[in-house]
Amino acid sequence: MNNKRFVVLDVETTGNSPKKGDKIIQIGAVVIDDWKISKRISYFVNPGKKIPPFIEKLTGIKDETVKHERSFLEIADEVYDLLTQSYFVAHNIHFDTNFVNSELKNAGYDKLDCMVIDTVELARILFPSFGGYKLTELSEALQIHHESPHRADSDAEVTSRIFLEMVKKLKSLPIPTLTELKRLSSHLISDLEPLLDDILRKKDPAKEIDYKMVKSIAVKKAESDALKREPSAADLKTLNDICFDSFSAANLERREGQQEMMKEVYTSFNNNEHSLIEAAPGTGKTLGYLLPAVLFSREKGVPITLSTYTTLLQQQLVEHDIPKLNELLETPVRTAVLKGRSHYLNIYKLNYIMEEKDSNYDTVLTIAQLLVWLLETSTGDVEEINLPSGGKRIWDRLNCEGFLFQTKTNDCFYESAKKKAQAADLVITNHSFLLANEKNKSGAVPATGYVIIDEAHHFEKAALDHTGTRISYLDFHVKRIQMGSFKNGGLLKKLQQRFARFGISAELKFQIDEYLEFIQEECDVFFSMLHSFVKKRKPMDDVNRLTLRLETKQRNDIAGQAMTEGARRLCSMLSELNSRFEGLLRQTEAVKGQLDLKGLFVYHEFRSCVAYFSWLEQTLLQMFFTEDAKRITWIEIDAKGAKNAVSLYDQPLEIAERIADQFFTMKKSVVLTSATLTVDRSFSFMIKKLGLTDFYPRTLQIESPYLYKKHMRILIPEHMPLIHETDQQQYAKMTAEYVSILAKQNRAKILVLFTSYEMVRDVYNKLKQYDTLDGELLGQGITAGSPAKVKKAFAASEKAVLLGTRQYWEGVDFPGNELTTVVIARLPFSSPGQPLAKARFDYIKNRGGNPFEELSLPEAVVLFKQGIGRLIRSSKDSGTVVILDRRILTSTYSRTFMNALPHSAVEQMTKDELERYIDELND
């Protein structure tokens, strides 16, 4: 074996499975000798069968391309000689080795006996913060030009250049990290040990990068101590010179609405008043609150807390908006991002888990990623790292929740984040952590009383989620595996080893193992019963997720009684188990002081697991056996998933009073802002739902500076049937017809917004029948991938139609040419079958209110405004909004929706007029 000869190979094939007769149609190879490219090889191969249309479209390789080429049999000896005595390197190595070995076997050769390197796996380890590991994603991230994706020669060339970049990265790693990676490498797909040995032999300790050791792990040296909060004279001078009335700066245009917002934020803080500010798109909302917040922070010497709902906005603030603000100031804004303990890595826990020498692939891959990431991260925040699919289970053991295994706070990422927050001008956090901090009085968020809440229309939802509870079978299963048993491993076996000399009674060990087995069996039955209970009663209405409210009448039928009895048995068994755990805890608590740190780590993991089983018992008792008219319990299942893929939820029906008492009362001034806070030009709905009525908050509505009349056309088809006067299939057919007309626009990028997955599916199936529909057709829950991946595919297409539900109505930006048309298929009223919505309707009705006017209509209008807002995201954007639901013109509540539309003419059009409108756009 030549440790320095690498053959980077890629194949194009007629399909995915050599076992099903698929064949190689192209081979591309790049040979690397002594870390330099020495040869490039490319063959077209005659597969002896027709190339499927999909492969032809994907690769551009046609039957005519290969019909005069040699078969694999004729080039087998060349391929075999090329790979023998070399490393076989490929992107997703199993695919390429399976095809090459299958073709070689057919040609009479033995299976290849060579070392392999999978560049997907190696990229995950060496570039742990990258967003994706497809060849196109890696080439883009590493700025490597990829000329012809899905052609073997081009793919092999790009893979070879990526591989050389990865080797360069490996060589830069310090000796302790390389040594640990070498130890882990025996459990990886790639044969890395000889390569790492070679790199380690040539390592010069004197030329190592600067790092520090935390136990056996090399980590990045801290850049500096915590920020100091005393403002300099330059800070104050700069701020005094920034006058709101004459605000201007390089590359920052003057906006009247933004000036107005700055004054309002500053006045609210100075007067210790709460306020709501609706800032329409184009206002410059973010800078509109950032500048006065920093001004006030430095003048008063206190941090300002800024809370967002999404991590995407946090990222935008840190990477885009705050650097823009720094252009206005002589000294940069002191910024700290603060999240819950579970977001931060505990290095000491990682060290102990590494000592367990777990050979599970996901565990090994995750640890390898973390070792490289620790040389790059200053925060230890899990949001920075792209963990493998099983990585979350391992992260739950590694984060800063629970007992902290460190002697120096400088080595704790969470403590460092807290310290930095205390000295910052601006502390960026999220709604959930902000609410948890108030509830637990943890003091992590600086208690200055001044808060800005962006994405404020989600603040009530965050509060409801925060005060609710969730039980899932998956969570139980993870904890059950982690607990293990005294016989077969897991925490109980480790605990026994640590406490062996102190003695744990054989009877107690037997009873705990027995009850854990009983509970495992009972949980399997119980969650499968819940799955069946929901599936028999609910149509598939939302991307395979089915939900069902647990109501008294349902619990009283035969199936409901069986389910309740199952919950009773499970609670009884959990009670017996928990009483025995308490006995074990009493025994171990008395002697835990004699344990070393490794023993304490096991002990506290065990306590955490015990706490989960106790919580599970109490939560099940509350969900099934405690009547509370102010709460709702519901079941959610994955209709196409395993029979135990079930979650149970419990949540209060309203939260306004609790938010008022536990949050707003405790703050001096809270500024809530969003693009959608008003309904019918009034803040009353949002004031009431957030519990602000008794605070008499200030309010300000800022209009958009965009010339909507010039940039947006709002169309309502004349002949679309009223939704309540036709069946869903007919409505879906008409929707598909209108979308197909709109899709005739040159480079059309159409987002169609629905309120149910069922209608997405129906319209998708009808659109597929249109021969005239060119471009990509994407459907949420139908096209493979998460909503984020579907959006990415949509953005990458020159022409496309995307059919989506809730995830696409808000929080998704399609700037510039990414979107030409938004179609509102139906006004976004919550489905009456949605458990939480129905329960809240019933609750309002029972107290004598009008659920439609108090909840259904205003929530629909807020979401409607969000959906319309997807189209125009900058002054350069333009496009068309088409509203298919004619209730916007005919219903008693039509004026409320019409008032939510931007200032643009609303036009009714026949199909013929719509066709002519599209023709005009194409001219």
Complete DSSP assignment for 340-389: -GGGBB-HHHHHHHHHTT---HHHHHHHHHHHHHTTT-SS-BGGGS---T
Which residues is 453 bridged to in the sheet? 307, 672
Structure tokens at 547: 């939900």
Q: Are 449 and 666 in contact (CB under 8 A)?
A: yes
292 is in an annotated binding site: no
800 is in an annotated binding site: no
Q: Are 470 and 648 in contact (CB under 8 A)?
A: yes
Query: Rounded to 5 degrees, what are φ and ψ at 27?
Result: -125, 130
Cβ neighbours for 589, distance < 8 A, ≥ 6 positions apart: none
Count the residues in the chain.
923
State the virtual CA torsion across 224, 226, 230, 232 in degrees, nearest 10.
Answer: 20
Calculate the CA 287 to chain-centre distance: 26
Q: What's the rounded Cα separation, in Å, for the pair 289 and 259?
A: 10
688 is in an annotated binding site: no
784 is in an annotated binding site: no
The number of C-alpha atoms within 13 Å of 255 and in the hemisphere containing its C-beta is 23
284 is in an annotated binding site: yes
59 is in an annotated binding site: no
280 is in an annotated binding site: yes
Query: Rounded to 5 degrees, what are φ and ψ at 515?
Result: -70, -35
Write a three-state SS string for 221-279.
CCCCCCCCCCCCHHHHHHHHHCCHHHCCECCECCCHHHHHHHHHHHHHHHHCCCEEEEE
Cβ neighbours for 442, distance < 8 A, ≥ 6 positions apart: 436
Which residues is 672 bridged to in the sheet? 276, 453
Q: What's the rounded Cα separation, in Å, for the pair 779 and 761?
A: 7
Q: What's the rounded Cα separation, in Å, for the pair 686 and 708?
A: 26
285 is in an annotated binding site: yes
Q: How many other CB atoms are found less than 10 A from the CB of residue 352?
A: 19
Q: What's the rounded Cα separation, in Å, for the pair 3 and 5?
A: 6
CA dihedral for 520, 521, 524, 526, sign (positive or negative): negative
Q: Are 126 and 386 in contact (CB under 8 A)?
A: no
Q: Are 130 and 138 in contact (CB under 8 A)?
A: yes
Annotated binding-site ranges: 279-286
Annotated binding-site ranges for ATP: 279-286
